[in-house]
Structures are given as structure tokens and as C-alpha cells.
Amino acid sequence: MSDIRHRRNQRKDVERRKAGAYDGLGQALMRTEKLNSAASKLAQSLEMYETIHGHGKPHIDIALALNNLGLVYFLMGKLDKVLEKHQQSLEMRQAIHGHGNLHPDIAMSFTTSELCITECVNWTRHSRSTN
């Protein structure tokens, strides 16, 4: 029985490393401004993490993947998706660390969300003033 559990854990570890590799590739593509490819890799990473840890189950890997996907959507100008992904990331981090807890992960989500909202508002104002 323990041998089966060990093999299952090894398989899960390999899948987690693959998901991490997709995440790293997505972030590298984001830095080189290949945003569509970056979004694709980051979405694959998120999907893999959700498969590994369970769809809808709070896990920091999933929260970070949501955050990274939100960042690439921000760079792409997909404002509706930016707020959606960052909100999902924040809610997941609160579920992990507690809604009333001032954990650094929650603070980071609030900060990232605040920056994105501010930039989205500025972007919208700028677009309206130039049209």
C-alpha cells in the first residue's frame, strides 16, 4: 500500500514540476513581450495546477498561477480578465490564510489588485480623452 502511495506522490511531484516549467516559460515570454504565447503557457500552468490540487480547492500554486495570468492579461490590455484573475487569486489566498489574517500573500494580492485597478482607470481615462 505504501509503495502505491509513494508512486502516486512521485507522479504528482513530476506533474507539479511540469506546471512550474510552464509557469516559468510563460513568465519569460511575458518579459520578452510575446504576450499571446505567455498567456497560453500560463493558462496551461493554471490548468495543470488545478488538476493536481483539485479544481476550486485553495492552494498557493493555483493562487500564484491566477496572479501571473492576471499580470499577462494586464499587459495585453484585457482589463475584464485582469480583475477577474486577481480577484480569484485574492479569494484563494484568503481561503488559504484566513479572511481576517494579514498574511504577506494576501497583502501582495491587495497591492497587485490595487495597482491593476488604478492602471485600468488611468488607461480608460486616457482612452476617453484621446478619442
Model pTM score: 0.81
Determine the pLDDT at residue 123: 61
Determine the pLDDT at residue 4: 76
For domain 2-130, the CATH superfamily is Tetratricopeptide repeat domain (1.25.40.10)
Q: Per-domain residue ranges for the chain? A: 2-130
Spatial neighbors of 51 by CB under 8 A, at least 6 apart, are 15
Determine the pLDDT at residue 60: 93
Walk along the chain (131 residues) in steps of 10 and give the mean pLDDT of each run.
75 90 95 96 97 91 94 89 89 86 73 70 64 58
Determine the pLDDT at residue 77: 87
DSSP per position, 1-50: -HHHHHHHHHHHHHHHHHHHHHHHHHHHHHHTT-HHHHHHHHHHHHHHHH
